[in-house]
Amino acid sequence: MRNNTKKKSKAFMMTRVENPKSPIVAKLEGVHLFHYDGAPCAQRVRFALHEKGLVRGREERFDDDSIAACKGQEGAWVSRRVSLVKKDHMTKAYSLIQPNLVVPALVHDGQLHIESMDIIEYLDEAFGGTPLVPKHDPEQLADAEAQTTLGKELHRSIRFVTFRWGLRGLARLSAKEEGQLHELLKDSQDGEQLASFYEGYDSQTIPDAVYIDHLDKLNAAFARHEQRLQDGRKFLTGDSLTMADIIWAMKTLRLTECDYPFEQCYPAYAAWFKRVSSRPSFQEGVMGKHKFMSTAFRAKASIENLLGIGLKREVLKRVA
Ligand SMILES: N[C@@H](CCC(=O)N[C@@H](CS)C(=O)NCC(=O)O)C(=O)O
């Protein structure tokens, strides 16, 4: 399938994983996304796919390599759900696709791509639809790249904050799962530092100061975004949506689900998020099958705030 496909430039060939270990990759036709509905990094890519005019297509098991499951779908991406709850990402089969054991991974006509923001740049080159990398405006391009880099740098901060105040103990691994994680990562560089994170999180030895430091870094970034939106621009880097809006919107959604008080602390930024999240691509691509989970997270966070243990209270204490 090469619907909508534009010529691929050399620059983005580097986002591709050469010689992937999983035999499934070469068999996949069209666009297949390995993702989880509630994972912000995967939501970024789904948002971009829908901006590019590709809709969610068939659902296949992530490791199904039958001929029928490997077929592409015209005008759509094939969904291969990797459950972070059932720990599908910590299986041997998935480690051969994504050696860092994280979602997303995308395969386009037998070529494997990892790293969500690289995938988005790749999609921008490969497909039509909304341009997400503002190549024709060097100033906006530099700004969009800088905001995207900041978003990537603060990726671990979202993990710390949402595991501490959102998931709390819910995502702790059993001793067996932790052993499996170490085993699967033993020959890789553990680019996402999952092993060290879970070690501290599971044994509850991450000091509160570390969590607070991550929260402060995010607060500082939101304050800067609030500042830049004061000139009335519609999106973070100007009047068109770019990859920078995508990465920041997904962080904002996750924190909104933890009841982060954006409207109280950063009203212009909250209005920006409303604008971005009302796009059909966000509603269909991001929220689609995530709506129920999102509502459940919000309800849980509201109760925690009523009990005085929520993220909202912590943020309001720090952002006066
Ligand atoms: N740098 C990677 C980060 C991917 C990542 O951390 N994904 C998270 C979900 S947002 C994940 O799969 N986490 C697994 C876990 O926490 O166990 C990217 O941008 O694609």
Cα(103) to centroid(ligand 1), Å: 5
The residue with greater pLDDT, 2 or 40, is 40
Question: Which atom of ligand 1 is found nearest the CA of 163?
Answer: 16
The alpha carbons of the chain give a radius of gyration, in whole angstroms, of 19
pLDDT surpassing 70 at residue 127: yes
By percentage, how much of the chain surpasses pLDDT 90? 91
The pTM is what?
Answer: 0.95
Any residues with CB less than 8 A from the CB of 258 and at least 6 apart, and which? 161, 162, 165, 166, 297, 301, 310, 311
Distance in angstroms (rounded) separating the CA atoms of residues 183 and 283? 38
Distance in angstroms (rounded) separating the CA atoms of residues 269 and 229? 7
Cα(192) to centroid(ligand 1), Å: 7
Question: Which atom of ligand 1 is found nearest the CA of 43?
Answer: 10
pLDDT band for position 284 (cuts 50, 70, 90):
very high
pLDDT at 3: 43
Task: Give whole-number Cα distances, 315 to 103, 218, 302, 309, in Å.
Answer: 28, 10, 14, 11
Q: Report which protein residue has its CA nearest ligand 1's atom 11.
A: 102
Distance in angstroms (rounded) separating the CA atoms of residues 43 and 74? 21
Structure tokens belonging to residue 276: 């971005």
**pLDDT tens, position by position, 131-171:** 999 999 999 999 999 999 999 999 999 999 999 999 998 99
| Cβ < 6 A, ligand 1 pocket | 39-41, 84, 89, 102-104, 115-117, 155, 192, 194
pLDDT band for position 191 (cuts 50, 70, 90):
confident
Q: Where are the domains of the chain?
A: 10-126, 138-318
pLDDT surpassing 70 at residue 60: yes
pLDDT at 190: 74
* Average confidence (pLDDT) over 225-248: 98
pLDDT surpassing 80 at residue 2: no
**pLDDT tens, position by position, 7-30:** 445 444 556 888 999 999 999 999
Distance in angstroms (rounded) separating the CA atoms of residues 32 and 34? 7
Cα(284) to centroid(ligand 1), Å: 21
pLDDT surpassing 70 at residue 263: yes
By percentage, how much of the chain surpasses pLDDT 70? 95
Find where tokens 């212009």 sit: 268
pLDDT at 14: 52
**pLDDT tens, position by position, 87-97:** 999 999 999 99
Strand-pairing partners, residue 238, are 235
**pLDDT tens, position by position, 100-116:** 999 999 999 999 999 99
Q: Angle at the Cα of 279 (from 273 to 285), degrees rounded to 5?
A: 105
CATH number assigned to the domain covering 10-126: 3.40.30.10
The SS3 of residue 221 is: helix
